[in-house]
Structure 1
């Protein structure tokens, strides 16, 4: 936000030096970016954070200066003269769009278009605004004065004198005042008459109703539009303007009337004409600002210093708050309409602190602190990160938007179509060489983003590309406006299926040492048919694991093999044992036995493992998969060998050879009965 020194001087007497002014403003939250000389005036560039739209006008900055330097603030009180004719007799306004909350219109008759006076042109030039004509310059002047965008229409070009605020039609064409034609969509708000769109709500006016040299009848618009709607429209059309910049950050709907009167007053001074009585005002009334109580003891607790009660009440009043009650213990105020960021007690603490001067708070001021409690989710995430980073994996942070091809290729958690963003992502993905299409879908899985990260690393000849990400996915729920947003863990590696399965098992054991991971069938096309599965633990679906198929590697532009897993962290959190528990270990030695079974190709390891564990009973300590081997000449077609090792151990005594043999015989017998398994001797 650029402000003019000369312009500011109209509202507050700038007795201080330039350096002193910008230093105080910087310390109070308006960071000084630089100052330039423009025709003898100082153009001061201030960084205004998004929560302070009240400082996007000279009056807002002047208010800050008046409080910081204890100077009186001179705010104009526009009272333009009016005729006895009523604006409501000539103009009507109808709001049909939910994106417009309030719309006001005033009418001026008999204006004469010409150049603006030199003083106005000079001030507009200082803030980087080009002079157009006296009427347009007045709307811009008031916007830079108070932060409220306005627009002036040639009223004679509005059919039947009726303004209709509506949503645009699909692919409706709009010729803007920049002499370009834009195609709109049904989510954009337009100001129209009975025939055509005349302006884009909160963004830009149209060429069909712009002020020209022949204009004599003027409609002055002051309106309040939805922030998100303005932002979406401006970004979609790449049509940012000073007006959209302010509406995106919210404006003070309570000052619409002031801004409208101020603009009409300036037009009457610079272009002549007469103002019709009254205003056409349609829509919602301004919201009632919140009432907030500041306990003065909180100043000491938060800031670490004593601030006098009288000073606190005085500062809050000078900042525009209405003081309802004030004593030695607390101050109760009503926030001003232009400060939507003031809603809590701590907000008032900050206001008092920044005006008092944070630089006046000693470095060694004692501020009482209490240790925060880390939530269970964060504690589980810490354990997961410890395991993965110890295993050589690097954490990635990927965008939440992906293209349609990727979204369709992998969505294991839901069949509902992905949510489409109104603002496609620009940048690396959009310009990627593999022609992936528009990046505008909220991801239903983290896997596609990680595979793209792997592709980029391959293209840069990085050797070890083992990545993981923890983030939310967005799973649409039928009939609900808000998607289900669980936190997932996705892992991608160049290692094989079994290595990544072991990493998943290590994660599960870290959160609960007594749990084991099982794998069941899954039908996910991204994965190779022989290396894919659904991960389960404690009877719950944990996630999915698989090696990326050849077609999947082609889709994502991968040069080498990749294995991925995706885990629902909510399941891990439910299982997590965060306080380590002691368990007695058996002091007796183990005994290991190897088995080499010939089974049908249709037999899954998960099923065979379950049979072995059931048959072995409590004496089975662990079962380890060794190898799958096929020899059609020796074993026959559609046959395979599964080699496994079983560790036996008793908690009560040393196992005898007879006990171990008995367990082995039960395992062999049970596998033969349930899976027609034959033991290779």
Structure 2
């Protein structure tokens, strides 16, 4: 990868030599494998000075030659010149003796003192093509300048010279595949401020040509942005842009294509320009085409698609192999007057597969295969549109279409200070660590004496683990700053299985679907009236949308309850009354410390527990049906025994607070009728709202196994009369406390309330399952355990035991 030193200075002003910059980058992990110098004019006209012709006479021995004397500042030299337009008094470029000029194919020739037809010549008065300033050779170049004789002629011309670094980019450093990416590292290494291009003046001239966009799968294309530019004129790029591309060994093409290449190498964001007049139906579709579809790519080769390539299409056909190569007929040509400019973030896997299958390697695929910055497309699009408008004219004729349904969040990486010290081999001050990370745009949050959480921007696809953060600290701090000890040893962070939250969610979704639940996905925007009319929500905590589409979509939801009830109402109104739904979704609130977002799992049950059949009678769903689902979910996640508290407050008529490891993770119960009716649901609804963030944290990824006991299980039943206020959960906890390791499980199989027990009392019949893993239980041991259980119930709940 080639990087221009001059362009780096636009981002990070510095006075260091190119060699010093190369050393810094290499030491930090961006190995500079070589360095060359690019000159827009070979030799940069070194040794060519301004001269003034003080005399001009015909050559005595040749009809087509002139004998001149030229003032080059310190002396007047004789020069034999063959140009027909040379004359006394002219200011001319003079290549002095010892100067090297270059032919069109780059070969040098040295100006020497010579005798031409018997006359001494000490230099050469140059034509335009001899200097590399153009192609004309009709005569010498006459200068219009007030510069003193002998002044370097380079002052009169726009000659671009820059050192170019050749960086051997490792596969993990996709973020550094641009001038901006390298400048970010220099920012940290030099302690400088990064100067980004200014796009604040971007504006849409009108919206008379909007091309609609649709994306079939956001997994393949997380973000797609674009706009149209109309009335432009295709032509050569200005010299500065051509020089930029030539320095990177790229051939200039035209003012539009050159801008897209400039942005790719400058910001690391590939762009593609389509001829807007060739987009059929004024529509862009990002999708896969059927296997066997034929597509002709830009180099004129017909390719047969496998059906796995991501394609950019219009309503009729494919226009471009996304992120890899454009189509032959849809690109910019000399006749193009309007373009659709694409700036996207494509999935690395699908681009890699398509490029490898067809054997295509482009600058765009190189970057997409490794992962591009999902937050860059719109910035790059604005920058490119402003440049194209400046260089090719025209107007920006549409607003920016930006499809970004699931913004990529910063990576959150927990880091321990002791691990930093251990792996680096030197204790680095926490303030220095924070300074280094912030210079790399890695924010430090939740800092304690033990460590912190690093927030890493999505463009750093290689920094996702604690070891990666430590590597970032070390490469900026400097490997050479770590003292070498006499005894060496290698060390590493032990690998711990990471929870894949997506897989965890999929497992739960699969289980719920298998138990008859249907998944719903509802809008995060909802009515403010829900929180205003509900006692369990605080309307002051609503996150209000500034640019509301309507009052019905005016705030972000604080709970999944009401959007789920709306789905229930929609189905019930269509005579679908037996419903079981679940939803994974985020809820939002505004607190004193700022905004808070939590991911929740909601469960809804209403109507009958099953459809009518001839085997058993139909019954309505009850609390135990929903609680059984929650218990199955906790078992699936390997979450330990749950603690329960009764809740009789909004939004529940009655219900339970669920806890595990002393953390509340949800509530479950029968909804208040008034709340259901607020959304026009007139039948009973059982609802559970579980904090998925807490559940995912508590979940144990590895199941525990043990050998089945060789010894038999024993069951004993017990009937007792207790107060209505005593819950089964209280009895369960007391049972395991008294029964110890012998008690494996407990079940209630009969509950009685009626005239045969006192008012305010209820009768429970419980079954206890006892087992010893080491030996067969004797009657003596069983009776002793049951006596402990009865005594515990009598003393702690006032139970009356039926013996």
TM normalised by structure 1 equals 0.52
Preserved CA contact (<8 Å) 1:174 1:206: yes
Do the aligned residues in 2 keep the contact of 1:2 with 1:127 (CA within 8 Å)?
yes
Separation in 2, partners of 1:217, 1:350: 47
The corresponding residue for 2:130 is: none
1:307-331 Cα deviation digits (max 9, x unpaired): 1211111111110123334466534
More divergent stretch after superposition (106-115 vs 272-281): 272-281
Residue of 277, 280, 305 corresponding to 1:156: 277
Residue-by-residue CA offset, 1:551-605 (whole Å, 9 max, x unaligned):
xxxxxxxxxxxxxxxxxxxxxxxxxxxxxxxxxxxxxxxxxxxxxxxxxxxxxxx
Q: Which structure 2 residues correspond to residues 208-219 of structure 1 after superposition, within 5 A? A: 208-219=329-340
Q: Which residue of the partner structure matches residue 94 of structure 1?
A: 214
Residue 32 (structure 1) aligns with? 32
Q: 1:135 aligns with which of 248, 251, 256?
A: 256
Q: Is the 8 A contact 1:111 1:268 kept in 2?
A: yes
Residues 1:326 and 1:168: Cα distance change in structure 2 (over 3 Å): same
Q: Which of these residues, 213, 237, 241, is aligned with residue 120 of structure 1?
A: 241
Greater helix percent: which structure?
Answer: 1
Report the equivalent of 2:686.
none
Decide whether the 8 Å contact of 2:235 with 2:334 is kept in 1.
Answer: yes
Closer, same or farther in 2 for the Cα pair 1:140/1:369, shift >3 Å? closer
Cα contact 1:268–1:274 (8 A) shared by 2: yes
Give, in angstroms, the shift of residue 372 of structure 1: 11
- 1:144 lines up with 2:265 in the alignment: yes
Q: How does 1:350-429 map to 2 (within 5 A)?
A: 350-364=471-485
Cα offsets for 1:230-285 (capped at 9, x unmatched): 11211221211000111100111111111111111111121111113521122533
Structure 2: how far apart are the matches of 1:142 and 1:369? 42
Q: Match of 1:45? A: 166
1:229 to 326, 350, 357: 350
Structure whose alpha-carbon radius of gyration is higher: 2
**Structure 1, unaligned stretches of length 5 or more?**
375-681
- State the match for 2:702 in structure 1: none
Query: Moved runs in structure 1, 4+ residues, more than 6 A?
Result: 365-374
Could you give the per-residue CA deviations for residues 353-397 of structure 1, whole angstroms, max 9, x where no partner exists? 1101011112217788779999xxxxxxxxxxxxxxxxxxxxxxx
**Pair 1:73–1:84, CA change in 2 (3 A):** closer
**Partners in 2 of 1:46 and 1:27 — Cα distance?**
12
- State how 1:176-191 maps to structure 2 within 5 Å: 176-191=297-312
- Alpha-carbon distance in structure 2 between the residues aligned to 1:367 and 1:351: 22
Q: CA deviation at 1:120?
A: 0.9
Alignment-derived partner of residue 539 in structure 1: none
Name the CA distance, whole Å, in 2 between partners of 1:344 and 1:222.
29
Task: Find the aligned partners of 2:492 and 2:409 in 1 and give their Cα distance.
Answer: 37
Give the corresponding residue for 2:76. Answer: none
Give the alignment partner of residue 323 of structure 1, picking from 444, 456, 475.
444
* Cα distance in structure 2, aligned partners of 1:298 and 1:274: 55
Q: 1:299 to 1:110 in 2, by over 3 A?
A: same
Distance 2:180 2:319 in 1: 30
Map 1:451-466; keep pairs closer than 5 Å.
Answer: none
Q: Distance in 2 between matches of 1:45 and 1:369?
A: 32
Distance in 1 of aligned mates of 2:353 and 2:231: 37
Q: Counterpart of 1:22 in 2: which secondary structure?
A: helix
Figure out how many residues of one structure are paired with residues of the other and give that number: 373
1:343 aligns with one of 449, 453, 464: 464
Question: C-alpha displacement at 1:297, in angstroms?
Answer: 2.7
Over 3 Å counting, the alpha-carbon distance change for 1:368 and 1:217 in structure 2 is same
Equivalent position of 1:12 in the other structure: 12
CA root-mean-square deviation: 2.3
**TM-score (ref. length: structure 2):** 0.45
Q: In the alignment, does 2:290 pair up with 1:173?
A: no
In 1, the alpha carbon distance for the partners of 2:212 and 2:494 equals: 58
* Aligned counterparts of 1:131 and 1:59: Cα–Cα separation in 2: 21
- Residue 310 (1) aligns with residue 414 (2): no
**2:381 maps to 1:260:** yes
Instruction: For residue 150 of structure 1, report the CA deviation from its aligned partner.
Output: 0.6
